[in-house]
Amino acid sequence: MVDTWGKNQGREKMRIRAGECAGLVIDIQERLFPVMYGGEELLNKIHLLLEGLEILDIPILVTEQYPAGLGATIDSLSTRLKEHRVIEKISFSCCGESRFIGALKELGKNTLIICGIEAHVCVLQTAIDLIEKGITPVVVADCISSRTPEDKNVALERLRFEGAVITTSESILFELTRQAGTPQFKSISRLIK
């Protein structure tokens, strides 16, 4: 019998570490967002996540799907994200846009913390393509949505099946913080309460 105690048994890593991460905000746009399931709660969770990522100094990429037709990122987020790079795309997957791939390579991160819409289209296709490129997609379940809860739920099932990490905004922020007693922990704790 082979002793497997202490071995990762096929998984490259288990922990998500802040220094290895970037955030990704997918297509939260003026003409898409109003028809998303659970919009108000979704927006509150996305703001919480983004504020937490900023506290932790995690860089953020933002995409907009065909903004000429779907509008820009919604005002309440564009104000928060004005310092971050916005990448226009027409491909459903962010990975289908060469400027996105260039920005991702420039950041040099191997893990992307993902929020956005729609879960069953752009979020799903992006996560699958990231996995193929060796990047770990961490999909924040309470920060993604679709027009129907069924589409979101099926997307989460498929994302799990394909190998994406599924988490929540509170869980990922505390995992990235790693311990209590630090100034970052105190700031994150105030956000969550």
| CA separation for the pair 24, 60 (Å, rounded) | 6
SS3 181: coil
Residue 13 annotated in active site: no
Structure tokens at 164: 């994406």
Catalytic residue among 95, 115, 122, 143: 122
Residue 143 annotated in active site: no
Contact in structure between 115 and 49 (CB atoms under 8 Å)? yes
Contact in structure between 152 and 144 (CB atoms under 8 Å)? yes
SS3 17: coil
Place of tokens 């990762």: 8
Place of tokens 């290895």: 20
Catalytic residue among 89, 95, 109, 142: 89
| CA separation for the pair 184, 121 (Å, rounded) | 34
Contact in structure between 83 and 59 (CB atoms under 8 Å)? no
Residue 27 annotated in active site: yes
- Residues serving a catalytic function are 27, 89, 122
